[in-house]
Structure 1
Amino acid sequence: MLSTMMKQIQRPTILGSYPPEDVTFLLKDLSEFNLEIGTEDREEAIQNGRHYSEMLPIEYKPSNEYIQLFHKLLRDNARQVASAVATVAELIFREHGSITVLASLARAGTPIGILIKRYLKMVHSVDLPHYSISIIRGKGIDENALIYMLQQHPDHEIQFVDGWTGKGAIRQVLIKSVLEFNQQYKTSLSHDLAVLADPGECVNTFGTRKDFVIPSSCLNSTVSGLLSRTVIRNDLIENHEFHGVKFYKDWGKDDLSQLFVETICAYFYSVTEESSRLALGYLECPDQRSDTWKGTKDLQAIQKEFNIRDINLIKPGVGETTRVLLRRVPWKIIVNDKENTDLKHILVLARERGVEIVVNTKLAYACCGIIKPLHDE
């Protein structure tokens, strides 16, 4: 297998604000380049056919009210997040053991991968290697990152990690990318994706299928090691290099990445017993872990109701709706219950941006964001 992978790959460099022992970023530093485009211009470019990975949104500067709400959500939901982390970590450890590489999908997956790594080290005294790699809808996974991990850990299995699922678009990209990689390099990688929340039932390894707020979804770089989302451009990245990313060092005083991780870690020992039981239950009853993709019907109904041609403009789930409000041009936000405490930050962001809130009590997700169509629908 490795004989087909003697390609010389870029060596990792130190990136981000996390301690190096938490994660190794298999990403190229593009901090010297001006890649940011205003939200309206970027949205128009995307809807006119330019790929979103060729440019970056301007980082959202949170209001004081929003930052205070983030801290409250973190306090209120820390134990629930810790429980989901512990459940996922127990599933990974019990199925694959200590010869596992954690491969977080940058950037939302990175803090989750760190938490899984920390949990297994604290509770099981196992220190798994952890990398953060890029995967991009419409482009695929970073093959150089996969090759590098296989070169460094030839006897390990790779477990992909992300924060949550929406309609499962990245899961579909992962499946396609891994199958193509396996065929090309004669490998047998699994495309299993581990997430904390899987409300659309798109994966088999999850902490919960409840659509709840994971506080790391509420911010951008300042809760993800001060890194941007990933970039892929042929004029900036050579054949042997990883996908690109920007390191926002100047945001250091606003960085909450370590606070998020440490706050969740403080609950690990208190949730170990219940999460272990839950993981064992999933392992004993595989049917509970089936990927039914049930959220698809909701999306099709929304697409028909609002006459939206491109289903990619519909972003279901708390995490994806937050992203719509932080870095896209939102049109409407659909919620199933305005009193749901997991949606407080959604309502604040919607108010700040003047976005209409629509209530649909039959919605399977807690909420759904719709990006404004810039052409006649």
Structure 2
Amino acid sequence: MGSYKEDDVIFLLKDISNRVEERGNKERELAIQTGVHYSEMLPIEYKPSEEYIKLFYESLEKFKEDIAIYTGVVSERIIKNRGKDIVLASLARAGTPIGILIKRYIKFKYNIDVPHYSISIIRGKGIDENAIKYMIFNHPNKDIQFIDGWTGKGAINNQLREATYLLNKKMGINLDSDLAVIADPGYLVNTYGTRKDFLIPSACLNSTVSGLVSRTVLRDDLIGDNDFHGAKFYKELLDEDLSNYYIDNITQCFDDTQEEVKRELEILEQCNTEATFLGLEDVKNIKEEFNIENINYIKPGIGETTRVLLRRIPWKILIKKDTKNIEHILQLAKEKEVEVIEYDLKSYECCGIIKSVRKK
């Protein structure tokens, strides 16, 4: 499945391409807020405007070296902490391009071709147990390293910790719930490239920068007991696909950024890299000040704010004073006529708030 090379990643997902009808954002949001789980539906893929696509290319050009540096940093920390006999398990779908970059960096630096899979984890439902079993069966003596793109307020990180605890108990195994990310602005994980909240360009688009694969789906009528979680493969978007273009552009920067990687690692050696959950202070303040009924309506950080604008019904966008490099967020807010407010954020550069669409 997907438009990536098999050498880069294998999706442990069931192809349900012709079996799920996408719903518009308004219809989907109402369903989610009245009790339907988000994993039972797919959103209609956002068709970016020419101006927005231009911003993607500009942001990739601007940040590709930063992504390469922080990919190097997090890869080196994975190798240091877990060794070289590992399997990479990226969380579909935002984790997939990051997992590919980490796999390519390890190949570039150490000439080791580590196995890399993309698997599903769903908030409120858990991790794909069959995907875990598959990796353990095929790589019985290797450690599994979980990978995502960035942290928001930690919902998926919490889900991963709970899921690995339950699987370890159930299967008598020893999965480590450590989650490696490029950017950890919320101070939620121990293995990261940076704690700056900066634009990772793969957050700008949906499937066209994620191997043409949808969000993952878990529904009883589609997914049997022995199936992987499901996803749609958007073959019709092949002409618009930028997934491999994105990866190749960043990979080409690995060689020229080695000194910066070394420098960043030296700085990290002097830092406390333990998770302190600092970002949750921002979330708590926003919930209280804006009287948000459900904490899941608050999506902090550049990556999560982008997602709110692409596939949810946004209410407000909060931005830190004098923040830079969020042009794509401002463009989307303008297109969707969403109010943008300056707000005193500590850990994040911006935050998206989902609109409550339920009738009171």
TM-score normalised to the size of structure 1?
0.93
The match for 1:255 is 241
> Which of residues 351, 355, 358 is equivalent to 1:372?
355
The match for 2:320 is 336
| In 2: Cα distance, 1:121 partner to 1:270 partner | 16
Q: Post-superposition shift, 1:280?
A: 5.2
| In 1: Cα distance, 2:175 partner to 2:251 partner | 30
What is the root-mean-square deviation in Å for CA atoms of aligned residues?
Answer: 1.2
Q: Post-superposition shift, 1:363?
A: 3.9
Q: Residue 279 of structure 2 contacts residue 346 of structure 2 at CA under 8 Å; is this kept in 1?
A: no
The match for 2:300 is 316
1:235 aligns with 2:221: yes
> Which of residues 27, 36, 42 is equivalent to 1:41?
27
1:66 aligns with 2:66: no
Write out per-residue CA displacement over residues 290-335 of structure 1, whole angstroms, 9 at most, x where no aligned residue.
1111111111111111111100000000000000000000000000
1:268 aligns with 2:254: yes
| In 2: Cα distance, 1:340 partner to 1:308 partner | 24
- Whichever residue aligns with residue 69 of structure 1, its letter is L
| In 2: Cα distance, 1:280 partner to 1:154 partner | 34
1:130-141 → structure 2 map (5 Å cutoff): 130-141=116-127
1:20-59 → structure 2 map (5 Å cutoff): 20-59=6-45
Q: Post-superposition shift, 1:269?
A: 1.0
**Helix, strand or coil: the match of 1:189?**
coil
The match for 2:191 is 205
Q: Residue 317 of structure 1 contacts residue 368 of structure 1 at CA under 8 Å; is this kept in 2?
A: yes
Q: Residue 88 of structure 1 contacts residue 279 of structure 1 at CA under 8 Å; is this kept in 2?
A: no
**Helix, strand or coil: the match of 2:272?**
helix
TM-score normalised to the size of structure 2?
0.98
> Which of residues 99, 102, 120 is equivalent to 1:113?
99
**Helix, strand or coil: the match of 1:160?**
strand
- Whichever residue aligns with residue 113 of structure 1, its letter is G
1:102 aligns with 2:88: yes
1:214-233 → structure 2 map (5 Å cutoff): 214-233=200-219
The match for 1:303 is 287
Write out per-residue CA displacement over residues 126-156 of structure 1, whole angstroms, 9 at most, x where no aligned residue.
1100000000000010011001000000010
- Whichever residue aligns with residue 256 of structure 1, its letter is L
| In 2: Cα distance, 1:233 partner to 1:150 partner | 25
Q: Residue 164 of structure 2 contacts residue 175 of structure 2 at CA under 8 Å; is this kept in 1?
A: yes
Q: Residue 12 of structure 2 contacts residue 117 of structure 2 at CA under 8 Å; is this kept in 1?
A: yes
| In 2: Cα distance, 1:341 partner to 1:269 partner | 28
Identity %: 54
Q: Post-superposition shift, 1:230?
A: 0.3
| In 2: Cα distance, 1:274 partner to 1:40 partner | 44
| In 2: Cα distance, 1:59 partner to 1:19 partner | 23
Structure 1 range deviating more: 91-100 or 223-232: 91-100
Count, aligned residues: 360
**Helix, strand or coil: the match of 1:37?**
coil
Which blocks of at least 5 consecutive residues in structure 2 are unaligned?
none
**Helix, strand or coil: the match of 2:88?**
strand
| In 2: Cα distance, 1:363 partner to 1:197 partner | 16
1:358 aligns with 2:341: yes
| In 1: Cα distance, 2:263 partner to 2:57 partner | 30
Q: Post-superposition shift, 1:35?
A: 2.9
| In 1: Cα distance, 2:169 partner to 2:183 partner | 30
| In 2: Cα distance, 1:62 partner to 1:316 partner | 22
